[in-house]
Structure 1
Amino acid sequence: MTSAQTSARSRATIQRAAQVVGAVFLLVGVLGFIPGITTGYDSLALAGHDSEALLLGVFQVSILHNIVHLLFGVAGLLMARTPAQARSYLIGGGAVYLVLWIYGLVIDQESAANFVPVNNADNWLHLILGVGMIVLGVLGVLGVLGSRRTADRTGATTQR
């Protein structure tokens, strides 16, 4: 395999990682609006802790929560266009999810502060998502999922 082929394969890997993460968020956002997949669908609220709808019977959701997943998914697909944007999406998005995890741990889940809303299952999923996305992004920065600098066919080094 030539250097250019290796570079293209690596570049595509970090972008594919962002695409997959974005697609999963889109899927979760859509599933949150499907009765049956979301139990208690009749109690799906616009926002707030009063929404008793549970995605897969586990994760508390609201219309706002589902829309956030949809937007996060679209962002992932759009930012997967370049390796640098894909890395930024994964690291930045992972940081957002770690902040959400901490937020979910410190708020009273029965208070108005729980406007998204989140429950304990959401909190731990946010931790896993945050760490996972950051790990993928850092692997991209380190060149494991796409190198930062590559040599083209002439040997010139370019920044991606």
Structure 2
Amino acid sequence: MVRTHRLMAVQGAAIIVAAAFLIFGVLGFLPGVTTDHDLLQFAGHHSGAKLFGVFTVSVLHNLLHMAFGVVGMVMARTYALARAYFLLGGLAYLGLWSYGLLINHDHPMNVIPVNNADNWLHLGLGITMALLGVTLAGQHDPTKRRTKVHS
């Protein structure tokens, strides 16, 4: 007998978001996708490489995106962990947004290089992830085709 495991909505969304983090982490290392690839530094504000010519990246920044993707894939295994991934990830990205607003972008403390485009992206990711954790978590049934109830 073959048992099928149906994912809940929050788990499926966690897999999609985690895959996106993995993909964008890898893209940050690719010349052409990342402009000024020769200026890619391990960490710090002096990295001149930009993903899609817009988002400042470094080796550390890319590795963190990839790690966040791997963590998401692991946490997508259960409903509770997938929900925690979105809620904690949302808080983390809102924290990064705050960090980006408060830090001087040219200061040595800017170890994960951020620019204004990164700040807006972090705000959007933080809000979206938190909303996914709250809204999709209300769906406790596995994602499957709903049957109509006739009265």
CA contact (8 A) 2:36 2:50 kept: yes
State the secondary structure of the residue aligned to 2:120. helix
| 2:108 alignment partner in structure 1 | 112
CA contact (8 A) 2:8 2:140 kept: no
Shift of 1:113: 1.3
Tell me which of 92, 99, 103 is aligned to 1:103: 99
Structure 1 residues 142-157: aligned runs within 5 Å: 143=138, 146-147=139-140
| 1:123 alignment partner in structure 2 | 119
Aligned partners of 1:41, 1:110: CA distance in 2, in Å?
A: 19
TM-score normalized by the length of structure 2:
0.87
| 2:55 alignment partner in structure 1 | 59
Q: Does 1:47 align with 2:40?
A: no
Aligned partners of 1:42, 1:57: CA distance in 2, in Å?
A: 13
Aligned partners of 1:12, 1:27: CA distance in 2, in Å?
A: 23
Shift of 1:53: 0.1
Shift of 1:13: 1.2
Tell me which of 83, 86, 91 is aligned to 1:90: 86
| 2:32 alignment partner in structure 1 | 36
Aligned partners of 2:23, 2:84: CA distance in 1, in Å?
A: 21
State the secondary structure of the residue aligned to 1:132. helix
Unmatched tracts of structure 2, length 5 or more: 142-151
State the secondary structure of the residue aligned to 1:52. coil
Tell me which of 8, 17, 36 is aligned to 1:12: 8
Unmatched tracts of structure 1, length 5 or more: 1-7, 149-160
Shift of 1:43: 0.4
Write the letter of the residue equivalent to 1:147.
H
Aligned partners of 1:43, 1:108: CA distance in 2, in Å?
A: 20
Aligned partners of 1:124, 1:93: CA distance in 2, in Å?
A: 16
Segments of 4+ in structure 1 off by > 4 A? Answer: none
| 1:5 alignment partner in structure 2 | none
Write the letter of the residue equivalent to 1:79.
M
Write the letter of the residue equivalent to 1:74.
V
Write the letter of the residue equivalent to 2:140.
S
State the secondary structure of the residue aligned to 1:135. helix
Q: Percent identity?
A: 55
Q: Does 1:79 align with 2:89?
A: no
